[in-house]
Amino acid sequence: MKLRCYKNSDIKKGTRVLVRVDANVPIKNGRVVPEGDFGRIKQSLPEIQNLLKHGAQVTLMTHLGDPGGRMIKDLSVAPIARYYGRLLGMKVKIGGNGPVTMLENLRFNAGEEKNDPRFARELARHGDVFVNNAFAVCHREHASVSAITKLLPSFAGELLVREVTELSRSPKQPLVLVMGGVKLSTKLPLLERLLPQAQAALIGGGLAVTFLAATQKSLQLAGGEVSAAERRSAIQIMECFGNKLLLPKDFVVRSSLRKIQVITANELHGRQTILDIGPAAMRRFSSVLDQAKSVIWNGPMGVVEDRVARRGTVELARAIGRIKSARTVIGGGDTISFLERQKLIDGFSFVSTGGGAMLAFLGGESMPGIKPLVIK
Ligand code: ADP
Ligand code: MG
């Protein structure tokens, strides 16, 4: 898959370039929570700097959170503009007139998520050309990703090109998938597409609970019930690929008396909160990973927001860091921000900026943001 990139003749001094970035990052007390090296904003900087070198006039646009088509003051992108300003060493303002300016949160307008051509026309007024550098939203049919490409000459930014190139490489065998986190439905396409060629899928996190709940028990996710639809998805996957799924043999749980315990899968019941995979599961997963030549990982093994539930994810990242000569790919907002804080992200061959987008791309789903940029 080859993407259309701009050439020197496309961008000259004064060309107005509208750039879709993914700067949907946590904000606290009106400030961007400092990002690590793999932060979405930091990774989007080289493209902007390159455009500035060409003499372009850059307008950045992103969504932030989920305001649902209404203006919500706390979700203004003003702190993001200030953060870009600091990193680029210049003033960046919403609607300012410097070399880099920013548009307000795209999702303040209901047209964004409806892929409304009228909203896309409003956006298009800010540029002569459009550059998409936001892989993380390319699986969404939104105005700033999809409809806009019908109105302006459109190009892929370097971050998008890198994601597509890296994620298109066919995995060497044996391939081991590692899946955790929640919402099996979002991970289904990837599992269905890659399980036929994978040696195994190591299942942890809320996903393991979903699989166990589907067949045997009424188990609770930390966030509540496993829905009927999720159960059906789990059964469907187990029917086709049951022999390749590796579920944890033990878990860390919080009992109804708030005691933290390690128990076997057989001892699980509905009144416990399942927090993490246990040490036996960890050892088993590590030994499978030792044989792998490719690893694709999405989703934490436990409720990593909770101090007592971090071990599984940390140990797994260490195990993956130790495998020799394997290509290891990781993606997912929660997984990456956690491993970055733990200083464990350097052990991976490729860190994707996409969570849902990586799952969709690897799952062979249609990518409304990428399709219009493919050179046929
Ligand atoms: P990513 O953002 O990396 O794609 P997900 O969004 O799928 O990952 O999942 C991350 C979430 O999964 C975390 O908030 C974590 O608390 C949750 N999680 C992990 N293990 C469990 C569990 N056993 N029960 C409920 N939630 C879990
Ligand atoms: Mg997530």
Is the pLDDT at 217 greater than 80? The verdict is: no
Closest ligand by atom to 336 CA: 1
Q: Indicate whether residue 372 lines ligand 1 (CB < 6 A).
A: no
Instruction: Tell whether pTM > 0.85.
Output: yes
Closest ligand by atom to 354 CA: 1
Residue 263 has φ and ψ, to the nearest 5°, of -135, 165
**Environment class of 58 (CB within 10 Å of its CB; exposed 0-12, middle 13-18, buried 19+):** buried
Q: Indicate whether residue 351 lines ligand 1 (CB < 6 A).
A: no
Closest ligand by atom to 357 CA: 1
Whose C-alpha lies nearest to ligand 1, atom 5? 181
173 CA from centroid of ligand 1 (Å)? 28
Longest dimension (CA), the chain: 68
Q: CA torsion 19→22→25→29, rounded to 10°?
A: 20
State the pLDDT at residue 237: 94
Q: Indicate whether residue 248 lines ligand 1 (CB < 6 A).
A: no
180 CA from centroid of ligand 1 (Å)? 7
State the pLDDT at residue 216: 72
Report the pLDDT averaged over residues 166-182: 96
- Residue 220 pLDDT class (50, 70, 90 cuts): confident
Closest ligand by atom to 356 CA: 1
Looking at the DSSP assignment, which residues form a beta bridge with residue 178? 202, 297
From residue 241, alpha-carbon distances to 126, 151, 198, 284, 334 in Å are 49, 44, 10, 19, 27
pLDDT tens-digit series, residues 325-350: 899 999 998 999 999 999 999 999 99
From residue 273, alpha-carbon distances to 254, 264, 317, 367 in Å are 5, 14, 23, 36
Q: Indicate whether residue 360 lines ligand 1 (CB < 6 A).
A: no
State the pLDDT at residue 226: 87
Q: Indicate whether residue 368 lines ligand 1 (CB < 6 A).
A: no
Whose C-alpha lies nearest to ligand 1, atom 12? 181
State the pLDDT at residue 120: 98
pLDDT tens-digit series, residues 108-152: 999 999 999 999 999 999 999 999 999 999 999 999 999 999 999
- Residue 257 pLDDT class (50, 70, 90 cuts): confident
pLDDT tens-digit series, residues 70-91: 999 999 999 999 999 999 999 9
Percentage of the chain beyond pLDDT 90 is 88
What secondary structure does DSSP assign to 218-283, as a single string? ---BTTBPPPHHHHHHHHHHHHHHGGGEE--SEEEEE-TT--EEEEEGGG--TTSEEEEE-HHHHH
From residue 78, alpha-carbon distances to 25, 94, 106, 326 in Å are 12, 7, 13, 42
Q: Indicate whether residue 335 lines ligand 1 (CB < 6 A).
A: yes
Is the pLDDT at 218 greater than 80? The verdict is: no
Report the pLDDT averaged over residues 279-291: 96
- Residue 28 pLDDT class (50, 70, 90 cuts): very high
Helix, coil or strand: residue 374: strand
Q: What is the C-alpha separation between 218 and 175, in angstroms, rounded?
A: 32
State the pLDDT at residue 287: 95
State the pLDDT at residue 97: 87
Is the pLDDT at 17 greater than 90? The verdict is: yes
Mutational test site, ligand 1, from 303, 305, 335, 341, max ligand atoms within 8 Å of CB: 303
- Residue 295 pLDDT class (50, 70, 90 cuts): very high
The rounded mean pLDDT for the chain is: 95
247 CA from centroid of ligand 2 (Å)? 21
pLDDT tens-digit series, residues 346-365: 999 999 999 999 999 999 99
252 CA from centroid of ligand 1 (Å)? 15
- Residue 221 pLDDT class (50, 70, 90 cuts): confident
Whose C-alpha lies nearest to ligand 1, atom 14? 303
Pairing of strands 57-61, 16-20: parallel
Can you read off the two tokens belonging to residue 197?
């060629």
Closest ligand by atom to 183 CA: 1
Q: Indicate whether residue 221 lines ligand 1 (CB < 6 A).
A: yes
From residue 100, alpha-carbon distances to 39, 105, 130, 159, 344 in Å are 20, 16, 14, 18, 34
Q: Indicate whether residue 230 lines ligand 1 (CB < 6 A).
A: no
